[in-house]
Amino acid sequence: MNETKQIRVAVIGAGERGVYVLGARTAELWKETGITVRLLCDTNPDRLMESKAYLESRYAESGLDLTIDTETDYLRIMDRDDIDVVFVTNYTSAHREPTVAALKAGKRVYLDKPMATSVDDARAMLEAEADSGRSIIMGFTRRYEHSWRTLVGLLRDGRIGTLQTVLLRSVIPYARYLQRWHRSQERSGGALNDKVSHYFDALNWIAESRPVSMNAIGGRSSVFAPDPSAPRRCRECDRHCPYRALPSPQVSEIGSVYRLDPDYRRQDVGIFTRPSWSLAESEDAQIDNCVYAGDTDIIDHALITVCYENGVKASLFWNIFGPSAEDEESIELVGSSGRMRLTRITGVIDIVSDYGESHEILDARGTHFNSSHFGADVELLHAIRHHYHGSEPAANTKDGFESLRMVLATEESIRRDGASISLISTTPTG
């Protein structure tokens, strides 16, 4: 390590992202990054105990004998001088309070995306950040993915001339948004906030410009049309269902648990088999709410267009009921002299340049492609270390705020049957 200081982390929200993905990466990388998790905070005591045992065992596998403290109230960790950085990975609607408290306490903050569910929360975090004089690093993982960075590098080098239009296609098998806490618009800001916030940030990064207007159509498809006769949870249901999240006593298709969840399979998260999820009684902690239950208020598809100040135009085609497929997420950039298309799951960029004279297939997977988020989380931990030592992050809260505004503008446009929504009137400070 160049910078030898150990960086001691408290994770607020000891769930999938904070512990089983980012936390697990800290355990694998502690020797090179100096980052270790010293404290886990979660309002769910079962989750807390399970996560502590899991993470301590991951550190032990990596040769570090660590006892990780636990807390149920984030306020109790703020005056501890053995915590340097706080990872905010709890429900999106609860990002604000620990972020503001950590900044006030002089801690560095890693804030996961999406920034918030409301502009009020996002503004409060921006103000606390400005008062503290310490920037927040945000978790827009595509900014750290080798293939996306390669794509943007080629664009900036002029490989396809001047960027004109962008097409982002996301046809993803994410029924989990209807099964987990994301099913509450209030908690998550909906699937749109949880997933499309990534895409808006990526589009802004690629366009290198401010969005000036947007419009969208979308809503709730007929795929998950409410069925009042369906049992409330998978574990109480014996129907054959492609969205089954947990086995029932009657249906022994345990293999189907992961059938539509290639992300979980790839990242070896395995939360479905852990008791604090699989046996959870509180609705927030459950993972097997019926996709046909009528009480969720989130949308599952949208077709969105964005116009940028510099003339770039982007189109986003998104839904969460796609089949698991190799091409489920792709982005195509069209420039004045060529086009490039990245398929995220293969990490391959198909480049046609020089007005069609040249065609190249580029393997842009990078060294850590098989790790979580196609290697982005490994890069992110290195970025968190650099950020702690004073570097500016690749994605900050201004990016988070811009992305949130676009999510809210999309919702407004959908409510108004595709009306064009202006984005030029609001700025992070105004």
Ligand X SMILES: NC(=O)c1ccc[n+]([C@@H]2O[C@H](COP(=O)([O-])OP(=O)(O)OC[C@H]3O[C@@H](n4cnc5c(N)ncnc54)[C@H](O)[C@@H]3O)[C@@H](O)[C@H]2O)c1
Applying CB under 6 A, the residues found at the interface with ligand X are: 12-18, 41-44, 47, 74, 89-92, 94, 112-114, 139, 141, 181, 194, 373
By three-state DSSP, how is residue 20 classified? Answer: helix
Q: Are 116 and 305 in contact (CB under 8 A)?
A: no
Q: Judged by CB, which is closer to ligand X: 197, or 215? A: 197
Burial 117-155 (b: 16+ CB within 10 A, else e): bbeebbebbbebbeebebbbbbbbbbbbbbbbbbbbebb
Q: How far apart are CA 334 and CA 341, in angstroms?
A: 9
Q: Judged by CB, which is closer to ligand X: 273, or 427? A: 273
Q: How far is the CB of 303 from ligand X (least distance, A)?
A: 23
Q: Judged by CB, which is closer to ligand X: 10, or 423? A: 10
Tokens read off for 330: 């792709």
Q: How far is the CB of 178 from ligand X (least distance, A)?
A: 14
Q: How far is the CB of 229 from ligand X (least distance, A)?
A: 29
Which residues, other chains included, contact 280 with Cβ-Cβ below 8 Å and sequence gap of 6+?
46, 286, 287
Q: Judged by CB, which is closer to ligand X: 189, or 211? A: 189
Q: Judged by CB, which is closer to ligand X: 150, or 184? A: 184
Q: How far apart are CA 350 and CA 341, in angstroms?
A: 5
Q: How far is the CB of 90 from ligand X (least distance, A)?
A: 4
The residue of the chain with the least Cβ separation from ligand X equals 15
DSSP for 93-104, written as a single string: GGSHHHHHHHHH
Q: How far is the CB of 16 from ligand X (least distance, A)?
A: 3
Return phi, psi of residue 315, to 5°.
-130, 135
The residue assigned the tokens 């490989």 is 159
Q: Judged by CB, which is closer to ligand X: 51, or 215? A: 51
Q: How far is the CB of 80 from ligand X (least distance, A)?
A: 16
What is the DSSP secondary structure assignment for residue 289, as one 8-state letter?
B
Q: How far is the CB of 63 from ligand X (least distance, A)?
A: 26
Q: How far is the CB of 31 from ligand X (least distance, A)?
A: 24
Burial 336-350 (b: 16+ CB within 10 A, else e): ebbbbbbbbbbbbbb
Q: Judged by CB, which is closer to ligand X: 115, or 302? A: 115
Q: Judged by CB, which is closer to ligand X: 335, or 375? A: 375
How many Cα atoms sit within 13 Å of 30 on the Cβ side? 22
Pairing of strands 69-71, 35-41: parallel
Pairing of strands 7-12, 35-41: parallel
Q: How far is the CB of 48 from ligand X (least distance, A)?
A: 8
Q: Judged by CB, which is closer to ligand X: 126, or 160? A: 126
Q: How far apart are CA 384 and CA 88, in angstroms?
A: 13
By three-state DSSP, how is residue 359 classified? Answer: strand
